[in-house]
Amino acid sequence: MAKVLDFEDVKKHNHKTDCWLIISGKVYDVTPFLDDHPGGDEAMINVTGKDATEDFDDVGHSISAIDMLQKYYVGEIDKSTIPIKKKYKPTPRETLKPNDSGFVVKILQFLIPLLILGIGVGLSFFMKKED
């Protein structure tokens, strides 16, 4: 039976001499591989203390790299102990109302250049007729 580890215990292993990663619900002690990692040891150390699954998948590791993880396997992570990752949620933009000063500015930013262009075309047309 696989050893089940608590997130708080796993996240303590977060430096060059003791580096554990959580990938796809499993915990790996990758300390011996740090010096050989093609992306450098910092790439791995920077994803300790969190679920590194997304980071690992985003890189697009080869099948051999994925298979290599097995020799560093420590156990399973207790998923209920992993803190919920907060996603950035932008606040909804307020809709512009005709009486908003921002609305007036946006209308003027559109109309003034259009007015200048119209005057320029009109003057050009008028000047050609006088010749």
Section 25-41 average pLDDT: 94
Backbone angles phi, psi at 61, to 5 degrees: -65, 150
The pLDDT confidence band at residue 56, using thresholds 50, 70 and 90, is: very high
Cβ pair 31, 48 in contact under 8 A: no
**What mean pLDDT is reported for the chain?**
87
The pLDDT confidence band at residue 23, using thresholds 50, 70 and 90, is: very high
How many CB atoms neighbour CB 130 within 10 A?
A: 5
Cα separation values, 7 from 21, 39, 126, Å = 11, 25, 78
What's the pLDDT score for residue 83?
Answer: 87
Residue with tokens 């292993």: 13
Backbone angles phi, psi at 101, to 5 degrees: -65, -30
* Whether the model pTM is above 0.85: no
